[in-house]
Structure 1
Amino acid sequence: MPLELIQEARRQAEICNACRYCEGYCSVFPALHQERSFTDGTITQLANLCHNCRGCYYACQYTAPHEFDLNLPKALAELRRESWEDHAWPAPLARKFHTNGALIAAALVIGFALLFLAMRAIGSAAGGEGFYAVLSHNAMVAIFAPAFLFPLASLAVSLRRFWKTIDGAPIRVGDLVGAFGMVAKMKDLAAGHGDGCNFEEEDRFSHARRYAHQLVMYGFLLCFAATGAGTILHYLFGIHAPYGYFSLPKLLGIPGGLMLAAGTGWMARLKLKADRHVGDQSAWGGEMGFILLLCFVAASGLALYVFGSTGLMPGLLALHLGSVLSFFLLTPFTKMAHGFYRLAALFRDVQRKRQASVS
C-alpha cells in the first residue's frame, strides 16, 4: 500500500481527532476518536468504515483554501481502494478493473455472450424445455459452478488478509448481530443527525443514496434466493425449469430483479450528479462499470422473462448469461468487494466497542 496515502490519511485523521466537530456523523468518527495514534491497520479499518457520504467534508472548516486542506472522504476513498487492491487475490486483476472497469465489463459480457451463442450453434443444447433448449442444464452447471466458487475462494483469501491487517480478533455472535444490524439499516448513510447525507449536493441532505443501496442489496438477495430456490426444486424435488409465475423462483426473482435494476439505475444517476473531487477519481470508471454491469444483469433477466417465449430468447439468454458470468468472475475485484470489506470493518468496530466497555 503506498506510504503517501497512509501518511496523508493519518495526517487528516489526527486533525479530525483534535477537532471532533463531526463526532456523531457516522461510524468513522467514534472509532477515530477512540484512538491516541493511528497504526496502518487502524487507518485501513477506518477507510473501510467510511461510506463516502461526504457530510463531514461539507461541514468541515479546514477544507481548502485553509492551510490544513482537509478532504477526509477523498483520502479514505483512495486508501480504501488501495486496501482492496492490495488484499485482493490475485491483486493485478483488481488494479486493472478499477481503472478500466466499464470497458472490461462490456468486453466480457459481449465475449461470453458470443461464446454461448457459438456453443448453441455447435450443438450443446440437449433438447430440453425453455432455456435448456438453447443451452443444456449440464453445460450451465459445468460453466457456472466454477465461476461461482472462484469469487468465494478469492474473497476468502482477501478477507483473511484484510482481517489480519486490521488486527481482528475471533468473531463472536454478538459481533455478527451488531454488524449485520448496521448493514440492514444502512445506518451510516442516514448520518448521525438522521437527515441523510450530502452525496449529491453540498447543501442538501437526502436519503436517496441510502435507499438506492437498500434496493440494490435486498434486490440482489432476492435474486440469489430465487436461484437457490430453483436449485432446491431441481435437485431435491425433481421440479425442473421453466417455472410458472406463482412458483417460488419467480415470486422471489421478479421483485428482486425490479429492485436491483431500479437501485443500480438510481445509484448511477446519483454518481453522475456527485462532485468527483470528494471521492477517488481514479476509481470512478471502475465503480460506474460495476454499477452498470449489475444493472444489465437485472435488466437482461427481466427482459428474458418478458420475451422468453419469443424468437428473441436465444440472444437475450446469451447476453444475460454472459453478464451473470462476468459479474461472478469480476466480483472480487469490483465495488462488490466493498460490501464484504465494510462488513469486516464493522465486525472490527463492534469488537472495539466491546473491548473498550470491558476495559
Structure 2
Amino acid sequence: MQSLEALTREAAALAENESVARTDMTHAEKEVSRIMQICNACRYCEGFCAVFPAMTRRLEFGRADVHFLSNLCHNCGACLHACQYAPPHEFAVNVPQAMAKVRVNTYTEYAWPVSFGALYRNNGMTVALALAAGLALFLALAAVAGKPQPGSANFYSVFPHNVLVLIFGTVFVLAGIALSAGVRKFWKNESPGAVSIDATAEAAVSALTLRYLGGGHGEGCNNDSDSYSLSRRRFHHLTFYGFMLCFASTCVATLYHYLFALEAPYSWTSLPVFLGSLGGMCLVVGCSGLFVLNLKRHPLHGDSSQKGMDRGFIALLWLAGLSGLALLGARDTLAMPVLLAVHLGVVLALFLTLPYGKFAHGIYRSAALLKWAVEKRKPSSLMVEE
C-alpha cells in the first residue's frame, strides 16, 4: 500500500500537470485547483469545515468548483496551521490564502453591471470617493437648510423626510439589485439543484451563527499564532448584529412614521432609539476588535492586496456606528445639523459601496453555504453501486 506521502506526491504531480493544461482558468484559480487535488489525497482536514467534505465529492476542480469552494471558505486558518504540507514545504499548500485570492475575483466577475467589477480591485479609492461624495452632499445640503432651534432634536428640520427617503431608498434598491444579480450569476454557474426547506434552514443557521469560524476543533480561529481564539467570531457577531439592529431601528421608525403617524424625534425609551443605540455600540466594539485582529493577522492567512478593502469596510461601519451615537447624544444641541450631515454622509457611502466591497463576501458566502446544504443532501456522483 502506498504511503500518504507517496499518494500526496502523486496527486501533486497530477495537479501540476492539470494546472498547466487548463487554459480557461486564472493563475489564482489554477492554484486552488492544485491545492485541492493535494488535499483530496491527504484528507487530514476533512472534518475542519464545509470546504473539505464538499471537496471530497469531486475528483476534478474546474472554475465553477473553485469559485464555489473559495466562497465556502471562512478563512479561519485552522487548516493552514494543521497542514504538514504548508509553506515552507515544497507543496506550499495554503488553502486560506489561495481561496482569498479567488474570492475577490469572483466578486469582480459576477459584479453587475459588469463594468463596475473594477471597483473591487480599486476598493480603497472607491470607498474614499464614496465617503467624500456622501459627506459633500449632506454638508452642502445642511449649509442651505433651515436652522433648528436648540432642543428640538428634529432631524427633519434639517433634511426633509421625503428627501432622505428618496436618496437612501434609491441607493438601497440599486445596491440590492446589483447584489442580487451577482449572486444569481454565481448560483447559476454551478446550480446544485432544487432548494429544500431543510437545506435553507441549515444554511441560515450556519451563516447566522458563523459556525465555520469556530476553527477545526470548535475552539476558534488561528489569528497570529497556532493558538485558538473565538475573538474573531465574537467580533464578527457584534458587527453583524449591530448592523442588523441599526437596520431594524430604521425599519421600526419607518413603520412608526407611515403606519402609525408617529413622527420623529422619538424618546430615549422608544424602540427605534433603543435598537439604534444598542446597534451603534455593537458596531463600534465589533469593528474596533476586527480592526485590531486584522492588523495582527498572520501574513499567510489571506491576500495582502485585499487589506485595503477589509479595513475600508471596517472603517465605514465603525464611523457609521460612532457618528450615529454622537448624533444621538448631541441631538438637542447646535451641533446636531453638522453631526447629522456627517452621519448621513457616512451611511450613504456605506450604501453606495455595499455591492462593490467587503459586504459582498457575506452574501456570496451565504449562497455558497446554501449550495453546500443542497449538495450534501444529494447522492455523490462519485458513489458507485457494488
Q: Normalising by structure 1, report the TM-score.
A: 0.94
Matches within 5 A, 1:37-56: 37-56=60-79
Q: How far does residue 321 in structure 1 lie from its aligned partner after superposition?
A: 0.4
Query: Is it true that 1:165 corresponds to 2:200 in the alignment?
Result: no
Matches within 5 A, 1:303-314: 303-314=326-337
Rounded Cα–Cα distance in structure 2 between residues aligned with 1:71 and 1:263: 28
Rounded Cα–Cα distance in structure 2 between residues aligned with 1:93 and 1:277: 29
Comparing 23-32 and 164-173, the one that deviates more = 164-173
CA contact (8 A) 1:99 1:283 kept: no
Q: How far does residue 55 in structure 1 lie from its aligned partner after superposition?
A: 1.1
Match of 1:143 among 149, 162, 167: 167
Matches within 5 A, 1:202-213: 202-213=225-236
- Per the alignment, residue 141 of structure 2 pairs with 119
Distance 1:297 1:191, change over 3 A: same
- Per the alignment, residue 130 of structure 1 pairs with 154
SS at match of 1:139: helix
Distance 1:125 1:169, change over 3 A: farther
Query: For residue 238 of structure 2, what is the amino acid of its counterpart?
Result: L
- Per the alignment, residue 310 of structure 2 pairs with 287
Rounded Cα–Cα distance in structure 2 between residues aligned with 1:155 and 1:210: 24
Rounded Cα–Cα distance in structure 1 between residues aligned with 2:148 and 2:332: 18
- Per the alignment, residue 176 of structure 2 pairs with 152
Structure label with greater radius of gyration: 2
CA contact (8 A) 1:98 1:285 kept: no
Q: How far does residue 2 in structure 1 lie from its aligned partner after superposition?
A: 5.2
SS at match of 1:323: helix
Rounded Cα–Cα distance in structure 2 between residues aligned with 1:313 and 1:129: 8
Question: Which stretches in structure 2 are left out of the alignment for 5+ residues?
Answer: 1-23
Q: How far does residue 165 in structure 1 lie from its aligned partner after superposition?
A: 1.2
Deviation string, structure 1 residues 157-189 (Cα, Å, up to 9, x no partner) = 101100011324232211210101111221111
Matches within 5 A, 1:215-230: 215-230=238-253
Rounded Cα–Cα distance in structure 2 between residues aligned with 1:310 and 1:223: 23
Q: Normalising by structure 2, report the TM-score.
A: 0.88
Rounded Cα–Cα distance in structure 2 between residues aligned with 1:158 and 1:323: 24
Rounded Cα–Cα distance in structure 2 between residues aligned with 1:98 and 1:237: 45
Query: For residue 186 of structure 1, what is the amino acid of its counterpart?
Result: L
Query: For residue 50 of structure 1, what is the amino acid of its counterpart?
Result: C
Q: How far does residue 349 in structure 1 lie from its aligned partner after superposition?
A: 0.3
Q: How far does residue 90 in structure 1 lie from its aligned partner after superposition?
A: 2.5
Could you tell me the percent identity over the aligned residues?
A: 41
Query: Is it true that 1:267 corresponds to 2:290 in the alignment?
Result: yes
Distance 1:109 1:205, change over 3 A: same
CA contact (8 A) 2:203 2:366 kept: yes
Q: How far does residue 251 in structure 1 lie from its aligned partner after superposition?
A: 1.7
Q: How far does residue 37 in structure 1 lie from its aligned partner after superposition?
A: 1.8
Query: Is it true that 1:61 corresponds to 2:90 in the alignment?
Result: no
Report the RMSD for the aligned CA atoms in angstroms: 2.0
Rounded Cα–Cα distance in structure 1 between residues aligned with 2:119 and 2:93: 29
SS at match of 1:296: helix
- Per the alignment, residue 255 of structure 1 pairs with 278
CA contact (8 A) 1:25 1:193 kept: yes
SS at match of 2:377: helix
Query: Is it true that 1:35 corresponds to 2:58 in the alignment?
Result: yes
CA contact (8 A) 1:297 1:324 kept: yes
SS at match of 1:355: coil
- Per the alignment, residue 194 of structure 1 pairs with 218
Match of 1:324 among 327, 342, 347: 347
- Per the alignment, residue 109 of structure 1 pairs with 131
CA contact (8 A) 2:78 2:216 kept: no
- Per the alignment, residue 99 of structure 2 pairs with 76
Rounded Cα–Cα distance in structure 2 between residues aligned with 1:334 and 1:322: 17
